[in-house]
Amino acid sequence: MRRETRRRLDDTGLVLFDAATCRLDQETTVDDFAAMIESAAYLGACRVDVNGNDPDEARLTDRFAALCELCAEHGLGVGIEFMMSTQVRTLADALSLIERAGARNAAVTVDALHLFRSGGSPEDIAALDAAQISYVQLCDGPGRLPPEGYAWEAGRERMLPGEGDLPVQALVDVLPPDVVLGIEAPSQRRHAQGVPAKAYATRAMDALQRLLRGPGTQRPHSRRALS
């Protein structure tokens, strides 16, 4: 399967950007992800996405550092994705973990939903250097949501950019031009309605293109990704 996948990537010219997900918790060790990281490198991935969900800060730091080192040996970058449902809850938490680990190949994966639901803002991202951003996942949602609905929204029912109330355009406007953008918008509702995957992917790309043409955005030569 790996050989066939690599062949198809080569034949189509597609690039595997992000391999997901390494979830570090109390039970996992770096060895648990060794085969996945090897496969990601074989398939030409650029980086690996990581969640940090170990309440023991020292252990999480050590394992994250070791994981980053293993990825570096395979030529892979690492993106730590913060989210309210893990121990790395905010942008500040993610930046702190990278600093403690001393990992030069690590940066922050910015998911628009997790950024805004954790109280972050476009201004927080504007304060980062481009090298601190792994890539940016875009979606939309209602401006307010009860906390108990967060996990359901994140995993099962997101809106495409422009369909909700989150300041997604403002986020895109402050991003450095070379930051890779992706759409992450799972939707059980659309699936239940029988919306074909290709049609939904087309809508997602259209939404991304509208963001890139936004009033404050200067990204004519940006690289683009679609999740």
- Judge whether residue 158 has pLDDT over 80: yes
CATH code for residues 1-104: 3.20.20.150
pLDDT score at 147: 83
pLDDT of residue 144: 87
pLDDT value at position 148?
87
* pTM: predicted TM-score of the whole model, two decimal places: 0.90
In angstroms, the CA 29 to CA 22 distance is 10
Helices first, then strands: H and E counts in the chain: 10, 6
Q: Read out DSSP for 121-180?
A: -HHHHHTS-GGGEEEEEE-B--S---GGGHHHHHHHB-BPTTSSSS-HHHHHHTS-TT--
User: Which sequence spans correspond to the domains of the chain?
Assistant: 1-104, 112-227
pLDDT tens-digit readout, 87-114: 999 999 999 999 999 999 999 999 999 9
Phi and psi at 14, nearest 5°, equal -75, 150
For domain 112-227, give its CATH number from 3.20.20.150, 3.30.110.30, 3.30.300.30, 3.40.50.150: 3.20.20.150
What is the rounded CA–CA span in Å between residue 53 and residue 60?
8
Mean pLDDT of 160-167: 96
